[in-house]
Amino acid sequence: MKIAIEGCAHGELEKIYECIETIQEREGIKIDLLICCGDFQSVRNNDDLRAMAVPEKYQNICTFYKYYRGEKEAPVLTIFIGGNHEASNYLQELPYGGWVAPNIYYIGRAGVIKYGNLRIAGLSGIFKGHDYLQGLWESPPYSQNSLRSVYHIRSLDVFRLSQLKEPVNVMLSHDWPRGITEYGNKHNLLKRKPFLREDIESNQLGSPPAERLLHLLKPDYWFSAHLHCQFAALVQHEEGETKFLALDKCLPKRRHLQILDLPSTYDGDKTLKHDLEWLTILKDTNHLLSVKNIDCHMPGPGGNERYDFSPTEEDKQKTLELMGSLTITNESFVKTAPIYKPGVPKSSIIEPIENPQTVYICEKLGIDDPLQVVLARTGRTMKPMCVTESITCSDETQIAKTPMKSFKLSLPAPVTPVNEDLSQTDSICTPNNTTRSDNLDDSQENLSTPPSIKKIFKRRNLALYTPEVDDDVSTSTSSVGDSDSPRSSKLPCRINM
């Protein structure tokens, strides 16, 4: 089996596929699989550009839209994870993974899939200490804060990956595991990237959760991107070793693509499949999902909660009965948003769109779609997908709002006690593109809920909470490429190995 590894794609799919086709012709080989390590930029239309955390001058449509609308087809099966420059609104439709275009598959916030006998795990996003312990509270339309925090990895994703016991062949992360520079040619790296010296010497370069997973999962290969340079390392474990490789971004004369020749034992049937152990972990840890904008700790030794969710063979067999088939076919891809039309002005995304791929996996496993739970807190619902091939969805696809009921009473209507105060909900961007702060103290304006709207979910993670703001708390971290993230009121998460 021959696989190609790409660093930061940055939407340049045409160029990447051209490189692969050139290599195949020159070397006389056939590449079976392409793996992209983040900053994929699956931008479908101009609206998606507003969901990317990049300056205005870098909001380019690039070439993914051609594959989304069917003008072109990916010549090789492509798998990718998310980075810190993504169309986050589209990726939020697929928290557990799915096709973003024919033959192009997103692993999800965190996930494990199999291609033949090759087991691939991935962790999307980058690490930021002040967001690591929070729930998945973000939803479109994004504020300036949530536009960035939406791609920060969370402890739930890492906790789920830490439950894996079966061997992982390939592990993907966008940012590097912390401390990985100690296992490679650090001197040569500093000659090319001297500005990394301070972070390397203080052991602040990279992701602490990724470092933990590196030594826990001990994968055969680990691939990353983010820092826009090539770097190789070899990590020795008590049993086995991990070959680490980081790659550059897709630009001329950059080392952004690597071909890997794997033994034929990995070939199998060369079809894409769900991983049974991972699906079982998702099902058994669904109760740990939180959508609160506060720190939520995962269970561990010494508590009164279950903290070991490594599934047994019996558990996996039950999951297999629920799923029926583990094969992931291209037929499950659907267009959920309008295709790109040149000249259409950019606008902010107003309502999240329901993706049938997520609905399918949630119904099969009996798990929650995080985005749906977030919306239910404020009486919102997901917008149906755009099923027409036209550039814009018809007005009939808009969700009808529940009308306000009128009461002919001489006395005030009785107040029904509720467990939550919906006047203190997360801030959002209003449909007229007016940006509101993510600070919950500003959430008193225009968020009253019509009396006829009822709560859809009733579960422990729907309670609202207003955090106390401490302006003296420092939240600086050293993730390269995301230095413009706003200050947070949360204490930074410190993870020591």
d(CA 443, CA 420): 14
Tally Cβ neighbours within 10 Å of residue 267.
14
Residue 494, pLDDT score: 55
Task: Report whether 176 contacts 196 (CB < 8 A).
Answer: no
Above 70 in pLDDT, residue 426?
Answer: no
Q: What is the mean pLDDT of the chain?
A: 83
Backbone φ and ψ for 238, nearest 5 degrees, come out as -60, -35
Above 60 in pLDDT, residue 221?
Answer: yes
Above 50 in pLDDT, residue 449?
Answer: no
Task: Average the pLDDT over each of 87-96, 173-182, 443-452 and give the range with the smallest value.
Answer: 443-452
Strands ordered across the beta sheet of 2-6 = 98-101, 104-106, 77-80, 33-36, 2-6, 257-261
Give the mean pLDDT of 370-393.
76
Q: What is the pLDDT of residues 11-38, one digit of tens each?
A: 999 999 999 999 999 999 999 999 999 9
CA nearest neighbour of 162 among 218, 91, 206, 205: 218
Residue 246, pLDDT score: 98
Give the mean pLDDT of 376-385.
88
Cα 345 versus chain centre, distance: 26
Residue 378, pLDDT score: 85
Q: What is the pLDDT of residues 331-355, one digit of tens each?
A: 999 999 999 988 888 776 678 999 9
Backbone φ and ψ for 287, nearest 5 degrees, come out as -70, -15
Residue 492, pLDDT score: 53
Give the mean pLDDT of 216-230.
98
Q: DSSP letters along 122-183, please?
A: EE-SB--TTTTTB-----SSP-TTHHHHTTB--HHHHHHHHT--S--SEEEESSPBTTGGGG
Token match 């550009």: residue? 49
CA nearest neighbour of 44 among 26, 58, 64: 64
Share of the chain above pLDDT 70, in %: 77
Q: What is the pLDDT of residues 143-162, one digit of tens each?
A: 999 999 999 999 999 999 99
Higher-confidence position of 346 and 205: 205
Phi-psi region of 25 (alpha: psi -120 to 50; beta: other; left: phi over 0): alpha
Above 80 in pLDDT, residue 421?
Answer: no
Residue 496, pLDDT score: 53
Above 60 in pLDDT, residue 177?
Answer: yes
Give the mean pLDDT of 450-471.
39
Task: Report whether 397 contacts 383 (CB < 8 A).
Answer: yes
**Segments forming the whole domain that contains residue 157:** 1-497
How many domains does the chain fold into? 1
